[in-house]
Amino acid sequence: MKVKYAILLLGIILGTIVGVPAAMSAPHPTRITFVDTGNTGRSVAAEALAAVTIDKDHLDAQVISRAVNLNPFNTRPEINFVDLLHGRGINIASHTAAQFGTQEAEFSDVILTMTEAHKSWILTHFPETRGKVFTLGEYATGTQQEVLDPFGKSMDFYKVVLNQLDQMVGAAVTKAVAQH
């Protein structure tokens, strides 16, 4: 146990000497951020599915979700995702949307967006994220497949999108943990 603390302390000291913030240099769980437009639909569902994977597979990871364009008058999760995930025993009803910002850019190990436009927004506003921001499709499958936007569409369309997320989120989380 003393060796573990000594290594942690050494990491913090070395990080400070070379200018790396202590929170970045100290060992930590893999930090994954899912991003979409308003943080009320796809990214929230992806976060919830990732949390299930992390728990089920006992992975050392933390997951959050954020928006690139938060609407302060629309911060509750989309009811169709609430209902679909509730059917699986996953409760997202208490989620409140949050904007992607400096802290997420700094502390995330992997940033996974639903579309190329979301990825572009992050890279434009936070160029320091280059190398750790990807679309979910490219990271999980190596393809340019984007996660469809079901906002305002039918429940059947939400089921299609949830199926997309089911196919990609677990693989992305497992890969992120393995690489960090």
pLDDT tens digits for range 38-64: 999 999 999 999 999 999 999 999 999
- 1 lies in some domain: no
Interstrand relation of 133-135 and 110-113 (parallel, antiparallel or unpaired): parallel
**Are the C-beta atoms of 44 and 92 separated by less than 8 Å?**
yes
- pLDDT band, very low/low/confident/very high, at 25 (cuts 50, 70, 90): low
CATH number at residue 165: 3.40.50.2300
- 88 lies in some domain: yes
- 14 lies in some domain: no
Structural domain count, the chain: 1
What is the residue whose two structure tokens read 């992806």? 46
The Cα–Cα gap between 30 and 156 comes to 33
Please give the model's pTM, rounded to 2 decimal places: 0.86
- 6 lies in some domain: no
